[in-house]
Amino acid sequence: MDILITGLLLGATYSLIAMGLNLQYGVARIMNLANGEMLVAGAFAAFWVYTAQSANPFAAALFVVPGAFVLNWLIYRYLLRPLVRRAKNRGMLEVDTILATFGMSFAFVGIMLLAFGGGYFTYSYLAEPFPIFGSPFGLNRVVASLIAAVICGLLYVWIHGTRTGMAIRAVAVDPAAAGLVAIDVPRMSALSFALGGAVTAAGGIVLSTFLTMDASVGVVFTMKALIIVIMGGVGDVRGTIIASLILGLAETAVATLVDPGMTLAAAYLLFVLVLLFRPQGLFGRRAS
């Protein structure tokens, strides 16, 4: 029971990160390996707000989310757009963007090492017990997962209920066809890339309230987000949420029953199972 609830709480926060990556990969077609670094940057901002300004860490969202949005917009516009133009087909674009974002991820890690040093960062916020079904859980985890759930809900409604959201879904299905019905594909791609970055940075703030971070931990989160996106099906919001919950449960189970240092092994196990049995994802349609 403890595993179940802790896992679901963790999974809810993961869904935020995976949602960010899904917007970037599913819509903008950018396999962003620097996604985890955006998350760590958000977490560091929250850490700074809490320790140096002694304010509520969630206040960091006020400047982190718009900041990440603008930064990711600029990255897409000036670094990735040339690659999209240069690529002759989707395969080439994938190779180029993987290499470019891999380089960016190292550059970001380097910048954060310069700015914050190589130590571990953690702070204690809302670290008090909160009873669910009689067992105590960290209030920070509960608050974090609630915030994540609200943001995911808003995103879902926005994507499925507005004109812009529909345009984004159209680009996710087929960029060429979306262009034919007068959707500004480059603009929508830039928008979803920027939005994805902002959502991921928000996920970083949320995660920082209960996880310990260091400058080079980003790649682990990139990995987890990628596994979730593939498990849930690329470009599928519903699948992403369910896959996040599954990963959260699996990780918590492994951490409690085997060893807390083996969480990545749990993620890989799920990844291998998905690759072997449902490579198109839980809800994905088989590619023709």
Partner 1 sequence: MTRREAGYFVLVAAAFAVLACLPFAGQSYLLTLGVGIAMYTVLATSWALFSGPTHYISLATAAFYGIGAYVVAGGIGTLPYPALLALAGVAGAVAAALVGLATLRLSGVYFVIFTLGLAELIRQIVTWVQNNFTGSRGMYVLTDITEQGIYWQLLALAAAVYLIGWQVARSRLGFALRIIGNDEVVAAHVGIHSAAAKLALFVVCGVFAAMVGAIMAPRFTYIEPSIVFTPELSFQVVIMALLGGAHRLWGPLVGVIPFTILWELIAARFPGQTILLLGIAFLLIVYLIPNGVVGRIESALRATGRKTSHA
The answer to the question of residue 161 lying near partner 1 (CB under 8 A) is no
The answer to the question of residue 172 lying near partner 1 (CB under 8 A) is no
Rg (CA), the chain: 18
Tell me the closest approach of the beta carbon of residue 275 to partner 1, in angstroms. Answer: 5
* 23 versus 60: smaller Cβ distance to partner 1: 23
Q: What angle do CA 108, 80, 18 make, to 5 degrees?
A: 65
Considering only residues 259-288, where is the footprint of partner 1 by CB under 8 A?
A: 259, 261-265, 267-268, 271-272, 275-276, 279
Terminal CA-CA length for the chain: 41
Pick from 104, 194, 202, 206 the residue near partner 1 by CB under 8 A. 104
Nearest to 155 by CA among 140, 137, 169, 171: 169
Pick from 48, 55, 59, 94 the residue near partner 1 by CB under 8 A. 94
Nearest to 226 by CA among 26, 21, 39: 21
* 105 versus 140: smaller Cβ distance to partner 1: 105
Tell me the closest approach of the beta carbon of residue 200 to partner 1, in angstroms. Answer: 17
The answer to the question of residue 191 lying near partner 1 (CB under 8 A) is no
DSSP 65-86: HHHHHHHHHHIIIIIIHHHHHH
Enter the tokens of residue 279: 């490579």
Enter the tokens of residue 199: 């959502």
Contact 135, 1 (CB under 8 A): yes
Tell me the closest approach of the beta carbon of residue 109 to partner 1, in angstroms. Answer: 5
Tell me the closest approach of the beta carbon of residue 187 to partner 1, in angstroms. Answer: 23
The answer to the question of residue 105 lying near partner 1 (CB under 8 A) is yes
* 70 versus 273: smaller Cβ distance to partner 1: 273
